[in-house]
Amino acid sequence: MILSKRTDYGMRILYELAVEPAWYHSARALSDRHRVPEAFLRKILQDLRGAGIVVAQKGRTGGYRLAKAPEEISVGQVLAALEGPVPKLACIVGEDCEIDEGCPTAPLWRYLERRIREELSRLSLADVVAMAKAEVH
């Protein structure tokens, strides 16, 4: 699975919002801190807002913050909002496989696909923060 810059930037932004969930962060400040073009960042935030992951508040003290507690937002939800449905794992032959029905490795790919989806659903933004903090120390 290859993730886009959009998801990389989105996860970095959400990490920051998860570290300080009560604060509103301006798009400009987030853009500057993460070196993301502001227009691109706003599109990412718009998709996250549409998915119910962040909320926005207008005004001088406004900005963006998480819509729910970091523990309640899964990495799978974020990926779905920014990438669309998680793609299926495919073998090297692709959809033109002539032995798809009796393929001896198909169960492996289905198993890995299921495990990836389960992990993405299980891991929350709070877990992402904990992982990052554990790596730093």
pLDDT: which is higher, 118 or 97: 118
Q: What is the CATH number of the domain that holds 29?
A: 1.10.10.10
Q: What is the mean pLDDT of residues 97-126?
A: 85
Tens digits of residue pLDDT in 21-59 = 999 999 999 999 999 999 999 999 999 999 999 999 998
Tens digits of residue pLDDT in 50-102 = 999 999 999 888 999 999 999 999 999 999 999 987 766 666 656 666 666 67
80 contacts 105 by C-beta, under 8 angstroms:
no
Report pLDDT for 88: 66
pLDDT: which is higher, 85 or 5: 5
12 contacts 34 by C-beta, under 8 angstroms:
yes
**Helices and strands in the chain, H and E counts:** 6, 2
Residue from 83, 84, 74, 79 nearest 121 by CA: 74
* Structural domain containing residue 95: 5-136
Q: Which residues contact 114 (CB under 8 A, 6 or more apart)?
A: none
Q: What gap in Å lies between CA 101 and CA 104, rounded to an integer?
A: 9
Tens digits of residue pLDDT in 91-110 = 665 666 666 667 888 788 88
Q: What is the pTM of this model?
A: 0.84
Report pLDDT for 1: 60
Count of domains in the chain?
1
How many CB atoms are located within 10 Å of the residue 72 CB? 13
73 contacts 125 by C-beta, under 8 angstroms:
yes
Q: What is the mean pLDDT of residues 111-122?
A: 91
Report pLDDT for 106: 79
